[in-house]
Amino acid sequence: MSPAISWLQCIRCGARYDSHEVRYRCDCGDLLEVAHDLARLRELHPDLKRLFNDRVGTNELPYASGVWRYHEMILPELPAGEIVTKPEGNTNLYRSPKLSREFATARLILKHEGENPTLSFKDRGMTAGVSWAKHLGRKIVACASTGDTSAAMAAYAAQVEDMQGVVFLPRDKVSPEQLAQAITYGAKTLAIETDFDGCMKLVQQVCDQRPVYLLNSMNPFRIEGQKAIGLEAVQQLGWRAPDWFVIPVGNAGNISALGKGLWEARELGLIDRLPRIAGVQALAADPFYRSYQTGFREKITVTAQPTAASAIRIGAPVSHDKAAAVVQRFHGVVEAVSEEELMEAKALADRCGVAVCPNSGVALAGLRKLRARGVIADGESVVVILTAHGAKFSQVGVDYHTGRLPGLSPKQPNPPLVVSADLPAVLRALGL
């Protein structure tokens, strides 16, 4: 048998494990990543660019997917027939004079990952994670999440015959939107009398002690799917890397995946240079930003405060070390933005016709600050990764535009106008 193309490797001590071993951490305690033998991949596939280009527009599964189009770079040893895909990806790039003006960036492109089937970028990771779970023969997959992760896991598990998704939620701290996306997709949903950290601890215990496959963010196979965001973006741009990617940072898995994918793309000759990467956090939960300010000499954790960008309210990012390596390799920067800045940036994108979530607002607000400070120069091309669809965040949108977000006075308010039911009043309201 030929040696494996892919294996699990510790990001600190470098220890290797068979990719078919069910484990989420190294014996040393640190995170694992899926490593690939890139030299071997180059040998096996001398013209990956052509292979990937030929798959664009196909209806054939799994290659119609914006993840599995890059199968040979994602999980090359996973048989195509075992892949669980909707398909996902193939998300739009948005650019317009209006967007460029609002964000003072002439060459601005928004990649809208909220256009995935469950309306967030998490689908890309979950198609990989659930496919791998199926490949390993696991019948139960689980995660602790109140948001996009549980939606994606439940939706992919639901596609598989005889697979049960299990979602751990803190009882009474969950909105109808958050609950709906777990239960409607058929996941067994446990409302546990504890907080989020308590849920996280319990799900890990269950996965350690029973044949339940853990799909929280330390699962390294999810990163392999997520890295297709960057691959798809550069392919859409004709295999040219932009000068910058800008991406929000919470648990830091997404920026880690972006960097891993782009690095491998350059190693495999798909792009000829690396972009720079800017990670952006909300000031309410900015441990990675603070670590960056120490030159990553310190690994800082904080007690995360409430933020409209609820999905990235994380005080101790799981993928901190992977992400720090990415920022260093890509000559990156880390920025942080206030609630006012992130909500204003969201409002600006929304009114250009691109509905974004508050986390995406974090990235967009970071872009504005980096442009204002001249870190991103006039004329540089910028791709901003939008992580979820604005429609998942209706209430915060209404609260912003009607001035009901506590302590925040909106610069771009668009409240409804109450008008009596007669034509002259309506015409007056419209200035007509």
Among 4, 136, 191, 300, indicate the residue that binds a copy of itself (CB under 8 A). 191
Q: Are 240 and 234 in contact (CB under 8 A)?
A: yes
- The yes or no reply on residue 134 touching a copy of itself (CB under 8 A) is no
For residue 101, give the 3-state DSSP assignment: helix
CB of 191 to a copy of itself, least distance (A): 4
Q: Which is nearer to a copy of itself, 76 or 242 (CB)?
A: 242
255/247 Cα distance (integer angstroms): 7
- The yes or no reply on residue 418 touching a copy of itself (CB under 8 A) is yes
- The yes or no reply on residue 159 touching a copy of itself (CB under 8 A) is yes
Among 136, 202, 218, 316, indicate the residue that binds a copy of itself (CB under 8 A). 202
Q: Which is nearer to a copy of itself, 74 or 207 (CB)?
A: 207
Q: Are 51 and 73 in contact (CB under 8 A)?
A: no
Q: Are 118 and 155 in contact (CB under 8 A)?
A: yes
| Phi, psi (deg, nearest 5) at residue 94 | -110, 130
- Give the interface segment with a copy of itself, choosing from 24-32, 40-48, 318-326, 412-420 (CB under 8 A): 412-420
- What is the number of other CB atoms lying within 10 angstroms of the CB of residue 297? 7
For residue 404, list its beta bridge partners: none
CB of 321 to a copy of itself, least distance (A): 29
Identify the H or E element spanning 132.
helix 122-135
Task: Order the strands of the 93-94 sheet from edge to edge.
Answer: 93-94, 107-112, 381-386, 244-248, 276-282, 333-337
**85, 148, 68: which is closest to 113 by C-alpha?**
148
CB of 160 to a copy of itself, least distance (A): 8
CB of 326 to a copy of itself, least distance (A): 27
CB of 82 to a copy of itself, least distance (A): 14
What single-letter DSSP state applies at residue 163? Answer: -
- The yes or no reply on residue 309 touching a copy of itself (CB under 8 A) is no
Binders in 352-371 for a copy of itself, by CB under 8 A: 352-353, 355
**33, 28, 93, 98: which is closest to 66 by C-alpha?**
93
- Give the interface segment with a copy of itself, choosing from 9-17, 149-157, 281-289, 370-378 (CB under 8 A): 149-157
- The yes or no reply on residue 1 touching a copy of itself (CB under 8 A) is no
Binders in 52-111 for a copy of itself, by CB under 8 A: 56-59, 86-87, 90, 92-94, 96-98
